[in-house]
Amino acid sequence: MNKHVTMFRKLNLRLALLFTTIAGLILLTMSLLYLYLSEKELKNTSYLSFCGEINTIIAGLDGQNVITHEWLSKVEQNNKYSIALYDNGTPLSYTQVARTKDQLSIIDEILAYSKESYSIYPKTTDSTPIHYEFAYTTADKSPYYVSFIQISHSSNVLSTIILYPTDNLHKKLQHQRVYFIILNVVGILLLFLASLFFTHKLLQPIKQSQDKQTTFIAAASHELRTPLAVILSSMSALRTSDSSMQSQFLNTIESESKRMSNLVNDMLTLARADSQTWSFTMRQEELDTLLLETYEAFEPLTIEHNLALSITLPNDSIPTCYCDKERIAQVLAILINNAISYSNPDGKIHLTLNYTNSTFIFSVIDNGIGISQEAKSHIFDRFYREDSSRSKKEHFGLGLCIAKEIIDAHNGNIQVCDTPSGGTTFQIILPYAK
């Protein structure tokens, strides 16, 4: 049992890991796609906002004859820009005063890049302002949005470089990536826990089936061991016994062989039920005729056991039932045999058939030793026998299980309850179907 438990735990873990891996890959793919689109949208929004503000600044530069330090300082302060101005390639005083040495170095780097990449020269004869906006990362890995502007008036060319640091944007993107990583890790962990839980639930029927199979094999082996031991011992004794005892040993061997044959047949029946390979011949049958035939077949046996067998059939005609007649007769035989085996001498067994609410109800009622409440929940289990008082040598605890399998296959139900006057009542409930 421990081996099976360990096996199912490993299988549960492997399935959980498999489902988590598949779902995790889907989650990561969708997250990365969303992250990519989100970052792209954020960058585009930021860049378009920068370009729109640059257009406003260009209009201000082009419309002023004199560009004051106050105006430039105000633009820088409001937009967090760094502005450098050149008159025909010569830095204006504002550029020298307002910019640090490091900033001037960055501006020179960007100026060289702009001339090389965008064919920008210090002078142009075009009076229309020209400008180029682009993203640029300096040699020290500082990210910027850059606008290079040239405004021409006669022979004078005003060149302007505007830098906008995008550190905050990159920090925001990095924070967003960290959040996505945390969310994905938490999501994958939750997926694993959920997969572990649900695969455990999914494996429970398989585990229960495996446990039942193991129990079934163990019980079958135990049941077969006893008649085999009796047969072997009888055969051993037969070799050394005199002729007067040989007949007794042969009878014992025959009896135990029949027990083994019945057990093997019952086991094969249940095996076919488990694999759903047993066959049914479904026809419209008259159940009152079937019960009457069963009564006539078992009446001699009950008389032999000093039991009184009686029957009650419906007074009015009832419809036929779509069922396998032989299988229903087999169930009735199992219930009557049980009633015979567990009834007291001079006991009574009563068979009834009723039809109500489109339902057929067979009842097999005895006044025997009865069944305890605890046993009622187990009597349809395989190889279950309540105790020595109800255990008979010829019974293996498979009959009621076979009966239940047959009735379940008919979409019916089989129930057990106490007989009011003492004993046990079994009911077979079959639905009416055209």
**CATH architecture designation of domain 283-431:** 2-Layer Sandwich (3.30)
**Could you tell me which of 121, 141, 139, 138 has the C-alpha nearest to residue 130?**
121
What does 210-228 look like in DSSP terms, one character per residue? HHHHHHHHHHHHHHHHHHH
Helix (H) or strand (E) segment spanning residue 236: helix 167-240
Count other Cβ atoms within 10 Å, centred on residue 20: 21
Query: What is the CA 403 to chain-centroid distance, rounded?
Result: 33
* Dihedral angle, C-alpha 404, 406, 407, 410, nearest 10 °: 150
CA dist 337 and 265 (Å) reads 17
| Distant-in-sequence, close-in-space partners of 76: CB < 8 Å, separation ≥ 6 | 82, 83, 98
Q: Which residues pair with 162 in a beta bridge?
A: 83, 147
- Strand blocks (E) in 29-142: 82-87, 90-91, 130-137
Q: What is the mean pLDDT of each run of 10 residues along the chain (434 residues)?
A: 74 90 92 92 91 88 80 81 83 77 82 68 62 85 87 80 88 91 93 91 81 70 72 80 78 78 75 73 92 91 90 92 91 89 88 93 91 82 59 62 88 92 92 80
pLDDT of residue 391: 47
| Distant-in-sequence, close-in-space partners of 13: CB < 8 Å, separation ≥ 6 | 196
pLDDT tens profile 83-99: 888 888 788 877 777 78
- Please tell me whether residue 375 adopts helix, strand or coil conformation: helix
| Distant-in-sequence, close-in-space partners of 252: CB < 8 Å, separation ≥ 6 | 230, 231, 234
Q: Please count the residues of the chain.
A: 434
Helix (H) or strand (E) segment spanning residue 50: helix 2-62
pLDDT of residue 389: 41
pLDDT of residue 107: 83
